[in-house]
Amino acid sequence: MPHLIDDAEALLRERGFKITPQRTLLLQVLAGQPIYLDADEIYELAHAQDASISLATVYRTLGLYAELGLVDHRYVEPEHRREVFRLSEGPEQHYLTCVRCGTRVLIRTDLLNQMANELVRRKGVSVSSACACFTGYCAACTEALRREGKLPG
Amino acid sequence: MPHLIDDAEALLRERGFKITPQRTLLLQVLAGQPIYLDADEIYELAHAQDASISLATVYRTLGLYAELGLVDHRYVEPEHRREVFRLSEGPEQHYLTCVRCGTRVLIRTDLLNQMANELVRRKGVSVSSACACFTGYCAACTEALRREGKLPG
DNA sequence: ATTACTGCAAAGGCTTTGCATTGTA
DNA sequence: TACAATGCAAAGCCTTTGCAGTAAT
């Protein structure tokens, strides 16, 4: 997605920020990812291409991009410990995270939107962000655990 | 709620755990709270009644109570930093947290359950917990901001 | 030439854990 | 008496920050 990266860099310039190899690299890394990644995963991917990049720069850059609206950042893990990031294009994504293998299973979000809409209609609130976090086992782990008799069904 | 505390202590005994002054005190503290509190708030309330209780014991006890199903623990604040706890009586509660005044607006959870059921049916996963976190403005703040022209509508 | 950005390492905030001691059963 | 529970302090985990050096404009 060179277009997206160009746009992002144009925005950086426009706001008086500098274009550095690290910032470009992080845009490239993020552009290749369909799902949310945590800071460390992003760092590993970037580090594989440029061993000199530091985790601190990853955090600072992600923070900057979040402020500029270039990335979404959320807590989707079951424990809600690690923050996760992705480029903020396309529809919001929500997951079930498997506590056994870490797989993230995409969730249809129309019902979540329906919840938000209903909330607005019935309570008069305004909703700026909605997040559904499910914890459990992915299909493969569910089946494996059933075979081991560790899960009913 | 002495009834609740008795029940909780009966459960502790039944599972082979010991009844200690700290555990009883924490049940008393929690029983007086209608909303989620973080560990430090719970510690402060307990500490006011027994200066010898430690934060480590608060964490350990809350963890134990969570395992026993006596308390719910979640991240409901917008920043998701601090974990919060409350006695788990009554149905699960989910909120929209107002970023302006902190008010928590209760959310109907039937759609959340529907999401979970659909996920199980369509993807073969198993869901152990579901959590919806909405961020936005409560009705009062929404209206106030509209009057100030700071919110469309 | 400026001044923002970076890497490093240290610090911060919340939570967990090791260990010797205390206290329940 | 036996062993779980506690308090203390240290460590852990993720994230942020201070600082001196580096690099973009």
Report the domain count for chain B: 2
Q: In angstroms, how far is C3 C1' from A64 CA?
A: 18
- The answer to whether residues B126 and B57 belong to one domain is no
Confidence of residue B136 (pLDDT cuts 50, 70, 90): confident
Does residue B68 have a pLDDT over 70? yes
- The answer to whether residues A97 and A142 belong to one domain is yes
Q: In what order do the strands lie in the sheet with A71-74?
A: A37-38, A84-87, A71-74
Q: In what order do the strands lie in the sheet with B71-74?
A: B37-38, B84-87, B71-74
| Greatest mean pLDDT among A42-46, A104-108, B80-84, B122-126 | A42-46
- The answer to whether residues A79 and A39 belong to one domain is yes
Residues of chain B with pLDDT > 90, as a percent, come to: 48
Which token pair is A37?
A: 């990644």
- The answer to whether residues B45 and B99 belong to one domain is no
Q: What is the CA radius of gyration of chain B?
A: 19
Question: What are the pLDDT digits (tens) for A102-129?
Answer: 777 888 878 888 888 998 999 999 987 7
pLDDT computed for residue B54 by the predictor = 97
Domain's final residue, options A87, A106, A134: A87
Cα B82 to the center of its chain, rounded Å = 11
Phi, psi for A148 (deg, rounded to 5): -80, 0
Residues facing residue B72 across a β-bridge: B86
- The answer to whether residues A5 and A21 belong to one domain is yes
* Site from A80, A118, A134 to mutate, B interface, most B CB atoms within 10 angstroms: A134
Domain CATH number, residue B142: 3.30.1490.190
* Beta carbons of A134 and B127 less than 8 Å apart: yes
Q: What is the CA radius of gyration of chain A?
A: 18
B40 C-beta less than 7 Å away from strand C: yes
- The answer to whether residues A31 and A61 belong to one domain is yes
Domain CATH number, residue B81: 1.10.10.10
Domain extent, residue A121, equals 91-153
Domain's final residue, options B43, B67, B87: B87
Domain's final residue, options A30, A53, A87: A87
Nucleotide nearest B73, from its CA to each C1'? C15
Only one residue has tokens 């893990």, namely A77
More confident residue, A91 or A140: A140
Amino acid whose CA is nearest the C1' of C23: B20
* Site from A73, A119, A145, A148 to mutate, B interface, most B CB atoms within 10 angstroms: A119
B39 C-beta less than 7 Å away from strand C: yes
Q: In angstroms, how far is C14 C1' from B39 CA?
A: 9
Confidence of residue B90 (pLDDT cuts 50, 70, 90): low
Nucleotide nearest A52, from its CA to each C1'? C7
Question: Residue B71: enclosing H or E segment and its boundaries?
Answer: strand B71-74
- The answer to whether residues B126 and B98 belong to one domain is yes
- The answer to whether residues A71 and A19 belong to one domain is yes
In whole angstroms, what is the distance from residue B86 CA to residue B88 CA?
6
Residues with Cβ within 8 Å of B62's Cβ and at least 6 positions away in sequence, in order, are B26, B39, B42, B71, B73, B85
- The answer to whether residues B123 and B101 belong to one domain is yes
pTM above the 0.85 mark? no
In whole angstroms, what is the distance from residue B40 CA to residue A63 CA?
27
- The answer to whether residues A31 and A83 belong to one domain is yes
- The answer to whether residues B111 and B36 belong to one domain is no
- The answer to whether residues B80 and B49 belong to one domain is yes
Q: Is B130 exposed, middle or buried (0-12, 13-18, 19+ CB in 10 A)?
A: buried
Q: In angstroms, how far is C10 C1' from A138 CA?
A: 40
